[in-house]
Amino acid sequence: MKNYIKMIFTLLFILLISSTLFAQESDYKITSDFKTNYDSIAIALSNASTVKQVDSLKQEIVLLDDEYFKYDELIDNSIYPSNYKAQIDELKLKSSTAEHRLLIIENQSERLAKLSQEVAYYKSEIAFLNTRADSLRKAIARSEVSEERLAGLVKRYRKNLELRDELVMDVVDSLMITYSGINSIKISEISNQVESGRITGTNPLEMLKNIIDENIEYASNTNKVLTVEDHLRMYALQHHFEEVWNRVGNKMITAYGGTENSEWNTAFTSKIKDWRMVTSQKMWNSMDKYLEFSDVELGAFDNNYSFFIALDGFVKEAQKKSNDEIISNESYQDYKKFQQFWSGKVKNEWSNLIQNTEVLTVAQISSIDEQLSSWEAEARPIHPFLLVLLVLTSISLGGYILVMSKSKKFS
């Protein structure tokens, strides 16, 4: 019995010794394994594409720390001048940064999905309004209806176009909100997600291209019944679109253009230019016709600058003409016509559109205002009563001088 116990103890001792021996590990291997695990977690954190993945990597960091904490001095020596604690802290920081970044991206994806839904809604609404506006335009052109009904149709046609422009403006503003705050890193992440198929749905670039195409078509086929205000609104829409595109266009092309970035860029540059030309030409033509109709004969203009020069020249010339006329009422009538256009339309009805589109700047409007005050002073004709009074005063003065000279002669 005693021998058995002795044997068991001996075996246990041998097992203990051998396990100690087997447990001996190379310090270099421990540190190398730590470095390998560290690098693999760090790379996984950089490549993580979901918050869930980061959460699992956070767990791995805890396990890594549990496993290697007891070798901290060894690892400190191995990775000098860094140290174990700094390495673990760095991994924890990386995981927090990755989690934050991915939360933003996931939020971004939700916003993009929402935008896609909005785009789909806008698309169907715009298509409906386009069809309705088309049929109205044709009916008006054919003059198939009574005058009273025609006036109603024109009103509806204009209202439809207004609604349509408002919707397009909404799309543009949504894009602005979505993309203006995104930095280049996030844009490239969206691009990667689009390319890898993680973001699907309507490509916003396609949708915008269609919007431009439709607007070019509509601006080209505008009916005579449209007013200067309608054309100014279309011009303002194009102006706003171009402004927003200049701010977010590059980001959108980077995000959604895939491998055809330069093609998209060229297409948008060319289409926006065409749109600008059509709306600008139509707007200036309608302005010119309106002024002609209002008997305000300005010089030729086809852009913001030449429009101001024409206005300025007209007011200066009219002021000079008024200065030469003393009794005539004609120049004052010219002044009144211009004043009606200036105060009634430019400074009142079209005020917002004119300022938003920079058709006239505030300084230019003030300059014309000042000249108008002088023109009014020059052009205002003398009141008939004042004229009679003047004649009577002159006669009285003449009579008095005559009487005085005769009495001097006799004395």
Binding site for other proteins (CB under 8 A): 18, 21-22, 24-29, 31, 74, 77-78
Query: Of 31 and 191, which CB lies nearer to other proteins in the complex structure?
Result: 31
Cα–chain center distance at 376? 41
* Minimum distance, C-beta of residue 250 to other proteins, in the bound complex (Å): 45
Query: Of 34 and 342, which CB lies nearer to other proteins in the complex structure?
Result: 34
Enumerate residues 6+ apart whose C-beta is below 8 A from 72: 83, 84, 85
378 C-beta neighbours (distance < 10 Å), count? 18
* Minimum distance, C-beta of residue 18 to other proteins, in the bound complex (Å): 8
* Minimum distance, C-beta of residue 92 to other proteins, in the bound complex (Å): 25
CB 263 within 8 A of CB 206: no
* Cα four-point dihedral sign 16, 22, 28, 29: negative
* Minimum distance, C-beta of residue 81 to other proteins, in the bound complex (Å): 11
Query: Of 28 and 305, which CB lies nearer to other proteins in the complex structure?
Result: 28
Query: Of 31 and 215, which CB lies nearer to other proteins in the complex structure?
Result: 31
* Minimum distance, C-beta of residue 8 to other proteins, in the bound complex (Å): 23
- What's the alpha-carbon Rg for the chain, to the nearest Å? 41
Enumerate residues 6+ apart whose C-beta is below 8 A from 364: 308, 311
Query: Of 36 and 352, which CB lies nearer to other proteins in the complex structure?
Result: 36
Cα–chain center distance at 86? 45
Report d(CA 67, CA 30) in Å as an integer.
10
Query: Of 5 and 21, which CB lies nearer to other proteins in the complex structure?
Result: 21
* Minimum distance, C-beta of residue 202 to other proteins, in the bound complex (Å): 55
* Minimum distance, C-beta of residue 89 to other proteins, in the bound complex (Å): 22
Enumerate residues 6+ apart whose C-beta is below 8 A from 288: 298, 301
Query: Of 1 and 21, which CB lies nearer to other proteins in the complex structure?
Result: 21
Long-range contacts from 167-171, C-beta under 8 angstroms, 24+ separation: 167/122, 167/125, 167/126, 167/129, 168/122, 168/126, 168/211, 168/215, 168/237, 168/241, 169/237, 169/240, 170/118, 170/122, 171/118, 171/119, 171/122, 171/207, 171/208, 171/211
* Minimum distance, C-beta of residue 105 to other proteins, in the bound complex (Å): 40
Report d(CA 38, CA 43) in Å as an integer.
9
* Cα four-point dihedral sign 117, 119, 125, 128: negative
